[in-house]
Amino acid sequence: MLRGLYSAASGMFSLERRQEALSNNLANAQTPGFKKDDTVMRAFPKLLIERIQDFNENIPGAAELSIPGQNVRIGELTNGVYAQERIPSFAQGTLVQSDLPLDVAIEDQNIPLQVVNGRTVKPTAFFAVQLPDGTVGYTRNGKWDLDANGNVVTSEGYRVLGADHKPIQITGSIQKEDLTINAEGQLIAKTNDPTKTTNLGQIGIAIAQNPYDLTRKGTNVYTSENPLVFMQDNAGTNPGVSLHQGFVEQSNVDLGQTMTDMMSTVRAYEANQKVVGAYNTSLEQLYSVGKING
């Protein structure tokens, strides 16, 4: 009798985790470069139910002996569901023009598909940033600015790394309005004055051949056990990545679909809640049977 109660409870726990992921997606719908999480829900392994020794057959002429009956198959038993994991979606977000000189968006839809461990995956390009602990993180957030020391930093304050794996620093009297970033990520200052044009370096672009191996750290930054290879390492060729100055990549969260999924999750949670309530009422009635009233 309690099997249904356990199944309903597992459904409530799983739906609660799914709602948390949807709420986080909705909260970051306006975060530049944010990638939504999809919650994978799976059923617990099914069990096969049988009646053991359903009956005994007496042996003629030997009443004291009997043959155990055969097992009788009843059917399968399911034990509810569980939220196995959150899988990020690395689909390209919409590019929105901002006309700010240090807003940069990645477009990597032209990267060819790769086969990793027998599975076809879409490699993803990231900006490389230096985290506070000195490690390297990867983000799609291209909304940048200059700090007090002239370092190019993200909106979270992480320093952006160049193709040489070092933080990009703008020195001298160069202002961010003087910067031009081409599709290859080259930083060029004062392009309107040919006599003062200066190449300040190149933005480092890290390529994750299998982005699902990355670990989300915080809202908008990922880390990898093994450092990702930069597009510019070893004189590598561009695999199909282009940068757009003056554009910001929006999150890939679909607001309408997310709201619909949240309402569906709430209704499913309420349905499981009613099942738990029905079992609770049945157990109360069972407890009251035979109870001696004082």
Q: Is residue 44 part of a domain?
A: no
- Where b means 16+ CB within 10 Å and e means fewer, 179-215 reads bbbeeebebebeeeeeeeeeebbbbbbbbbbebeebe
Q: Could you tell me if 98 and 88 are in contact, meaning their C-beta atoms sit under 8 angstroms apart?
A: no
* Domain presence at residue 41: no
Q: pLDDT at residue 64 above 80?
A: no
| Mean pLDDT on 1-20 | 85
- For tokens 């940069």, what's the residue? 104
| Predicted local confidence at residue 286, as pLDDT | 75
So what's the pLDDT on residue 63?
Answer: 56
| The predicted structure's pLDDT at residue 75 | 72
Confidence of residue 280 (pLDDT cuts 50, 70, 90): confident
The answer to whether residue 192 scores a pLDDT higher than 80 is no
| In a domain? residue 263 | no
The answer to whether residue 115 is domain-embedded is: yes
**129-133, 210-214, 234-238, 248-252: least confident range:** 234-238
In a domain, 75, yes or no: no
DSSP state of 211: G
Question: Where do we find the tokens 């006309």?
Answer: 99
What are the residues whose beta carbons fall under 8 Å from the beta carbon of 92, sequence distance 6 or more? 107, 108, 109, 249, 252
Higher pLDDT, 269 or 43: 269
Q: What is the span of the domain harbouring residue 154?
A: 95-249
Q: What is the pLDDT of residues 112-137, one digit of tens each?
A: 888 877 888 899 999 999 999 999 99
Q: Is the pLDDT of residue 65 over 60?
A: no
Q: What is the pLDDT of residues 246-263, one digit of tens each?
A: 999 999 999 999 999 999
Is the pLDDT higher at 75 or at 106? 106
* CA-closest candidate to residue 202, choices 177, 235, 240: 235
**pTM as predicted:** 0.80
Question: What number is the average pLDDT over the span 149-161?
Answer: 93
**Each residue of 120-159: b (16+ CB within 10 Å) or e?**
ebbbbbbbbbbeeeeebbbbbbbbbebeeeebbbbebebb
In a domain, 88, yes or no: no
Query: 96: helix, coil or strand?
Result: strand
Asked if the structure places residue 168 within a domain, the reply is yes
The burial class, CB within 10 Å (0-12 / 13-18 / 19+), for 245 is buried
Do 146 and 177 meet the contact criterion of CB atoms below 8 Å apart?
no
| Rounded Cα distance, 172 and 108, in Å | 33
In a domain, 258, yes or no: no
Question: What average pLDDT does the segment 166-188 reach?
Answer: 89
Is it the case that residue 209 has pLDDT exceeding 60? yes
pLDDT for 47 = 74
Q: What mean pLDDT is predicted for residues 54-67?
A: 58
When mean pLDDT is compared across 215-219, 224-228, 272-276, the lowest value belongs to 215-219
The per-residue pLDDT of the chain, averaged, comes to 86
User: Is the pLDDT reported for residue 53 higher than 90?
Assistant: no
Q: Does residue 174 surpass a pLDDT of 50?
A: yes
Percentage, residues of the chain above pLDDT 90: 50
Per the structure, the count of domains in the chain is 1
User: Helix H segments across the chain?
Assistant: 2-27, 255-288
